[in-house]
Amino acid sequence: MELNEVLTKLGELTRFGINLGLQRIAGLLKILGNPQEQIPIIHVGGTNGKGSTLAMLSSILRESGYRVGTFISPHLVSYCERFAINGENIAEERLVLLLEEIMGALAEVRRQTGETPTEFEVLTALAFLYFACEKVDLAVIEVGMGGDIDSTNVVKKPLLSIITNVSFDHQDYLGKSLVEIAEKKSGIIKPGCAILTASRNEEVLQVIRRKAQALQAPLREARQEAMWRWQEEANGGQYFAVRTLRFDYGRLFLPLWGEHQLENAATAIVAAEILQEQGWQISAQSIKQGLAKTKWPGRLEIVGQNPLFVLDGAHNPAGMNVLSQWLARKKREVRRVLLVIGMLDDKDWHTAVELLAPLADLVIITKPNSHRARHWEELSKNFQDYNLPVMVIENLAEALQKAEQEAQKDDLILVTGSLYLLGEVKKIIAK
C-alpha cells in the first residue's frame, strides 16, 4: 500500500472526531502485545511548553548516549515527524507497514468494544509499537489533549511524568475553569511515580499536590528547584544562566527564541536531574550540549531575513501572551509588523486579537488547512476596532506573497494562529 493510500484510510477515522477514553486504545495495544509496557517512558503533559520541554529533554538524553524515541502531535509537514528516534523521523516505508499492521486490528477492537479507534489512538499505538520494535532505551511521549483520558495515558509506570503548566485550551473537553482543566491534566500522575511540574498558578498547584499526595507520587516543582536568568539574545537563539539545588550550570545557549523557553529549559534540566537520581547517566556537559542542540520548529522560528520572517504556532491565550511579549520587544527593532494569521473556529479569537492587534501595522487573515476552520474569514471582524488595514486572503500562498510584496527589508512578517497553518507555510517555503 502506498503512503497516500494508507493516510487516506487513516484520515477516514477522523469522522469519529475526538472521542476520549482508554477502552479502545487499551484493546488495540493488547492485540499488539502491549508494546507500551516494553520500554521506559517519560510522559509529558501541560497546556503550553510541553513540546519544547520534550524536545530539550530528548536532546539532553541523546547527548548522554541514549537511544531516544519521541512521539509528538501534531506534525507540521509530514506524519513522519510524529515518530522519531534520536531526532530522525520514521521512514515512510516503515510508517506504512506499521499503519497497515495496526489498522488490520481495528475490526477486532470494534468487535470487542463496539467502537472504532480514532486517528490519534492509531497514531499513539504506532508510536509505542515502533519504539518497542526498535528497542529504544527510553521514549518521551507527549500528551495529546488533557491527560486522564488521553490515549497516551495507557502508560502505567512512567519513569517521570511532567506537567509543564495548565492554562485555558480545549475547554469544551477539559472544563471551563483552571481547576477543572488541572484535574484532567493531573491524570498522568501515577501511583509511586515521580512527577514534575513548572506550574505557577496556586489553584493548579493545589490540584497537582493533592493528586500526587493521594497517589504517593513524589512531586517536584521546577520553580523550587531551579533559578534562571536571561542574559542576551544571540544569532539563532539566546544565552541564559541556570542554577539548581544540585548544580550551577553557568552560561548556557538555547537555539530557540523567547524568554518563556527558559522556564521550559529549566524544567528539562530538573527532569534530567531526577533521571540522574534514578540511575541514568547524564552529565552536566550533556545537559549543556543537549540544550544547545535542541530543535523545535514552528516556535518563533526564523525562516527568512530582510524582511525578518518568523513562524510561531501560538493558538491559545497562554501561547498568544508569550508571543505578544516577544513581539513587543522585537517591535522596537523593526519598522513595521505585518501579521499573517489564521485560526481554527474553536480557539480564543478575542484574546489573540486583543494581544496582537496593538502590535501590528498590517493584518492579513487567511485560512488554516483544517475542517475546524469553517468560519476563518470572520476573524477579520475582530480586528475592525483597532483601525488597522486588514486584508482577507483565503489562499495561503497568495497571503504570503501579498505580505512579502507589502514588506520592506526592515519589516517583520509574523505568521501565527495555528500549527496547521504553519505546516502549510513550511510546505510552500520548501517549494
Query: pLDDT tens, 297-331?
Result: 998 999 999 999 999 999 888 889 999 999 999 99
Burial class (CB in 10 A: 0-12, 13-18, 19+), 251: exposed
Long-range contacts of 36-40 (CB under 8 A, 24+ apart): 36/128, 36/132, 36/154, 36/155, 37/156, 38/132, 39/69, 39/128, 39/131, 39/132, 39/135, 39/136, 39/138, 39/139, 40/137, 40/138, 40/139, 40/159
Strands 160-163 and 41-45: what pairing?
parallel
pLDDT at 205 over 90: yes
pLDDT at 4 over 70: yes
Determine which of 51-55, 245-249, 378-382 has the lowest per-residue pLDDT on average.
Answer: 378-382
Q: How many CB atoms lie within 10 A of CB 12?
A: 11
pLDDT at 15 over 70: no
Cα angle vertex 398, ends 393, 404, to 5°?
A: 110
Q: What is the pLDDT of residue 170?
A: 54
Q: What is the pLDDT of residue 16?
A: 55
Taking each helix axis from N to C end, the angle separating 119-133 and 23-31, rounded to the nearest 10 degrees, works out to 40
User: Of 70 and 9, which is predicted with more confidence?
Assistant: 70
Q: What is the pLDDT of residue 19?
A: 65
For residues 291 and 226, the answer to whether their CB atoms sit within 8 Å is: no
Rg (CA), the chain: 21
Q: What is the pLDDT of residue 167?
A: 79
The three cell numbers locating residue 39:
520500554
Which tens digit of pLDDT belongs to each residue from 51-110?
999 999 999 999 999 999 999 998 999 999 999 999 999 999 999 999 999 999 999 999
pLDDT at 169 over 80: no
The DSSP-derived string for 271-313 is HHHHHHHTT----HHHHHHHHHT---TTSSEEEETTTEEEE--
Domains of the chain: 3-292 (3.40.1190.10), 301-430 (3.90.190.20)
Which DSSP letter does residue 117 get?
A: P
Select the highest-mean-pLDDT range: 136-140, 368-372, 424-428.
136-140
Q: What is the pLDDT of residue 2?
A: 83
Where does the pLDDT of residue 8 fall: very low under 50, low under 70, confident under 90, or very high at 90 and above?
A: confident
Which tens digit of pLDDT belongs to each residue from 254-304?
999 999 999 999 999 999 999 999 999 999 999 999 999 999 999 899 999
The three cell numbers locating residue 4:
497516500
Determine which of 75-84, 136-145, 169-178, 216-225 has the lowest per-residue pLDDT on average.
Answer: 169-178
Q: What is the pLDDT of residue 343?
A: 95
Determine which of 30-34, 94-98, 367-371 has the lowest per-residue pLDDT on average.
Answer: 367-371
Determine which of 190-194, 359-363, 380-384 has the lowest per-residue pLDDT on average.
Answer: 380-384
Q: What is the pLDDT of residue 266?
A: 98
The three cell numbers locating residue 239:
544565552
Q: Which residues are CB-contacts of 277 (< 8 A; sequence separation ≥ 6)?
A: none
Taking each helix axis from N to C end, the angle separating 260-277 and 50-63, rounded to the nearest 10 degrees, works out to 50
Q: For all residues of the chain together, what is the average pLDDT?
A: 93
Residue with cell 522556564: 263
- Cα separation of the two ends of the chain: 26
pLDDT at 13 over 90: no
Ramachandran quadrant class, 34 (left: phi over 0; alpha: psi -120 to 50; beta: rest): left
Mean pLDDT for 223-231 is 97
